[in-house]
Amino acid sequence: MSSKFDPTQPLFKYTDEYPPDKKYATGMLQHGILKIGTLHDFRKVEDYNYTIGDIYEGRSQFIDHIDHTEGRKIKKPPLVNSSKKTIVTIKNSFNAYDVDSQDFYIFCVTIGHSTKGMQKTGYNASVRINNPMEFMRIITQELIGQGLITGECWIDACMYGERHRSLKEVQNIPVFFLKSTDFEYQKEVRMVWAPTESSIGHKIIECPAIAKLLSLQELLPKIEKPNLSYSPRLKDEELLKKTYEVVDSIIEYLQKYKDTEEQNSSDSISFKNGSQTLSELQEKYKAGPFMEKDLLIKEYANRGFRDGRLERIILPHAGLNEKELASTLQRLAELFEIRLAVNDNKFLKIERASEYRFWARNFDMPIFMFAEKAPELILQAYKDEKKFTAGSDKPESTLSIEPYSLKLSPEVRKALAWFVKNSGATPSEVMDELQQTIR
């Protein structure tokens, strides 16, 4: 699907105005300063974020169905720019063509202003372009004057769909207008220029004549952004302190962010875990062993890990790149005894979070508060009773796990039984893990 592009209607450019060393919106409005990117630039997700960067930018696979053909050459459609193949006989088959587009200069804008869309892509300013065709004409003349483009150019709305598409669906649509449905909310219009050179990079140009076509649509209030980076040379105790400061900054930032009008959207920040807010958690556990700052931080870090809030919100809004955030999250994971994995899209995810969740439900505790305590109790019980062997004559409070038994309190025994039942681990696997831990 695609939004209909009407060249008589205004378009909008989402950009940055904060911190002071950026001022991109001001540069556009006052001096006509623009950054003209490249198609291949947007594959570099580590330099942007996953709401902007797309590793499949300019790449698609097309499927062409062939009912029956004999003794002739199958010509690939113009969209697929590659060599021909000779096929003798094909019956009820499919041809698959992978297309990796050459690089082009590109300037991306959007149809219709949306505060939600602007925030989701990590920007804080929206500039209105009142005459898109005149805007593009002026830019084109500047690029031609600098010898950067051939003069061939395109402007249209992107078409959103799966990366694997039918040729009939996208016949005669240039590949640089095809995007994944993951980005459909952007309602993107692209201005594209063919370069004179094969190897290109982004360009900063100044076109004072476009300033009269621009106006400021919206500027979000400034929010101080936390410093979430750290030096790998820090000693362990310094790194621990720095990590706590990082998470404190995250929590403080999210508390400010939740007061924006995005609170009611599907991408808003919620500090609820059931009915418990951070202050309620502190009140609930202030008299017990769970009042330690690190345990409260663990609970909130876990919420962010589980549903991707730290990546979706902090990364675009806190001035971080992918590597800085990944380093911070990795350190948090090590401190909190979580194993982080990286999937095909390079999003961080939690392994074994469901196991901790099963334990926590039995004790009505936040996940990491329980995960911190339960293994300690179980291991201590095992250390005390490791000479026991399995047998039916053991007391009721003894949980048999072949070939060992653990004499546990009823609460911990119940938790361990629940864990074994629901985690997918076998009793022997649980025991092996306990053995490895106490050796």
In a domain, 350, yes or no: no
Are both 47 and 148 inside the same structural domain? yes
Distance between CA atoms of 427 and 439, rounded to whole angstroms? 19
**270 or 144, which is more confident:** 144
Is the model's pLDDT at 377 over the cut of 50?
Answer: no
Distance between CA atoms of 431 and 370, rounded to whole angstroms? 19
Average pLDDT, integer, range 422-429: 51
Work out the angle between the directed axes of helices 236-257 and 322-335 (0-180°, nearest 10): 110
Least confident interval from 134-148, 185-199, 387-401: 387-401
In a domain, 128, yes or no: yes
Q: How many domains does the chain have?
A: 3
Least confident interval from 172-181, 199-208, 318-327: 318-327
Are both 23 and 119 inside the same structural domain? yes
Is the model's pLDDT at 207 over the cut of 90?
Answer: yes
Average pLDDT, integer, range 192-205: 91
pLDDT at 435: 46
Domain that holds residue 418: 357-438
Are both 36 and 175 inside the same structural domain? yes
Q: What is the DSSP letter of 404?
A: E
Domain C-terminal end among 178, 193, 219: 219
Are both 241 and 145 inside the same structural domain? no
Distance between CA atoms of 26 and 32, rounded to whole angstroms? 9
CB 212 within 8 A of CB 301: no
pLDDT at 98: 45
Are both 176 and 297 inside the same structural domain? no
> With b meaning 16 or more CB within 10 Å and e meaning fewer, what string describes 353-366?
bebbbbbbebbebb
Q: Which long-range contacts (CB under 8 A, 24 or more apart) does 298-302 make?
A: 298/336, 298/368, 298/369, 298/372, 299/273, 299/366, 299/367, 299/368, 299/369, 300/247, 300/250, 300/251, 301/247, 301/332, 301/336, 301/368, 302/336, 302/338, 302/350, 302/353, 302/366, 302/367, 302/368
Name the residue with tokens 């951070």: 278
Two tokens at 109? 């804008």
In a domain, 288, yes or no: no
Are both 102 and 145 inside the same structural domain? yes
Are both 52 and 158 inside the same structural domain? yes
**288 or 202, which is more confident:** 202
> Could you give the angle at the alpha carbon of 362 between the alpha carbons of 431 and 295, nearest 5°?
85
Two tokens at 30? 């006052």
Is the model's pLDDT at 147 over the cut of 90?
Answer: yes
In a domain, 176, yes or no: yes
pLDDT at 149: 94
Q: What is the DSSP letter of 22?
A: T
Distance between CA atoms of 321 and 28, rounded to whole angstroms? 24
Are both 311 and 380 inside the same structural domain? no
Report CA dihedral (305, 308, 311, 314) to the nearest 10 degrees: -90
295-305 residue pLDDT tens: 444 444 444 44
Domain C-terminal end among 219, 246, 265: 219
In a domain, 228, yes or no: no
Residue ranges with strand state E in 210-308:
214-219
- Candidates 117, 119, 101; CA nearest to 42 is 101
In a domain, 214, yes or no: yes
> Could you give the angle at the alpha carbon of 302 between the alpha carbons of 300 and 303, nearest 5°?
65
Taking each continuous run of H as one helix and of E as one strand, the counts in the chain are 14, 17
**Distances, alpha carbon 199 to alpha carbons 38, 106, 202, in Å:** 10, 14, 11
Which residues, in sequence order, are CB contacts of 287 under 8 Å at separation 6+?
A: none
Are both 160 and 188 inside the same structural domain? yes
329-356 residue pLDDT tens: 454 444 443 333 333 333 333 334 444 4
Are both 186 and 242 inside the same structural domain? no
Are both 165 and 110 inside the same structural domain? yes
Are both 177 and 30 inside the same structural domain? yes
In a domain, 23, yes or no: yes
Q: What is the DSSP letter of 112?
A: S
The model's pTM: 0.47
In a domain, 49, yes or no: yes
